[in-house]
Amino acid sequence: MANQRQQAGIRAFLLPLTINGSVDNVVCLFSQNQVVEILGPRPVQRIPGSPAYLKGVLLYHDDLLPVIDLDDLCNRQPAGRQERYRQLVVVRTGATDPVTGEPLKAVVTASVQVRIAKLSGQELTRGFTEREAPAALRDTGLLRGSFQRGDDAVVVLDLGPVVRGAADCPGGASR
């Protein structure tokens, strides 16, 4: 079964990032198992006193989910641009609530449309080559992997520390 799935390929969701000082096209990869739903733009409830990368909360199926801007999370100097998002991506983070033990989801903002790539088993093994991560991401403690795929620098991020409130992130200055 797993072999069949590998031959058929998996879908990956590629979210373009704007990383300060990086000349590469950096994209953040989410697997199809991570992505719960991609939502259209809708109002996000801002929370005073939160870090710049936390854009607020969104009510999703009776749960309040944190809304995270990955550009601000990864960059030391948040861009401070207008907060208009084209899409909101609901993702499973793999982390659990330290109090309730519930799995924690998050909403990731996308200022451009998320790309969907169908990756075959062959491409997964040969199409991705490991590479040095963009400098801005190296010391964040959030990086799970960094790869080159064609013209894209593909990064895989661990949002667990962010949603658990344990992140020590570059873009963490309070608003």
Partner 1 sequence: MKTLYLAQIGLQFFAVDKECVAGVGRRNDDAVKPVAENGKQYLPLPHGNRAVICDVQALMSGTGGASPARRGGYYLIVAHEDQFMALTMSTKGRIVMADVAAAHPLPPAFTGQSRALIPGVVVNCTDLILLVDLKAVLAAADGTAGPGCGEHGGQTSTSVH
Distance CA 52, CA 70 (A): 10
Closer residue to partner 1, CB minimum distance, 21 or 80:
80
Residue from 6, 22, 50, 148 touching partner 1 (CB under 8 A): that is 50
Closer residue to partner 1, CB minimum distance, 28 or 52:
52
Range 62-101, binding partner 1 (CB under 8 A)? 62, 64-66, 68, 97-99
Distance CA 58, CA 148 (A): 33
Rg (CA), the chain: 16
Residue 174 interacting with partner 1 (CB under 8 A): yes
Residue from 28, 35, 54, 133 touching partner 1 (CB under 8 A): that is 54
Task: Count Cβ atoms within 10 A of the Cβ of residue 36 and give its class: 0-12 exposed, 13-18 middle, 19 or more buried.
Answer: middle
* 3-state class percentages of the chain: helix first, strand second, coil last, to nearest 5: 15, 40, 45
Distance CA 73, CA 76 (A): 8
Bridge-based pairing of strands 152-157 and 25-31 is parallel
At 75, which helix (H) or strand (E)?
none
Closer residue to partner 1, CB minimum distance, 83 or 123:
83
Residue 59 interacting with partner 1 (CB under 8 A): yes
**Residue range at the interface with partner 1 (CB under 8 A); choices 16-24, 26-34, 145-153, 165-173:** 165-173
For partner 1 (CB under 8 A), the number of binding residues is 29
Q: What minimum distance in Å lies between the beta carbon of 68 and partner 1?
A: 8
Residue 17 interacting with partner 1 (CB under 8 A): no
Question: Nearest-CA neighbor of 115 among 10, 8, 11, 4?
Answer: 11
Binding site for partner 1 (CB under 8 A): 43, 45-50, 52, 54, 57, 59, 62, 64-66, 68, 97-99, 104, 106, 162-165, 167, 173-175
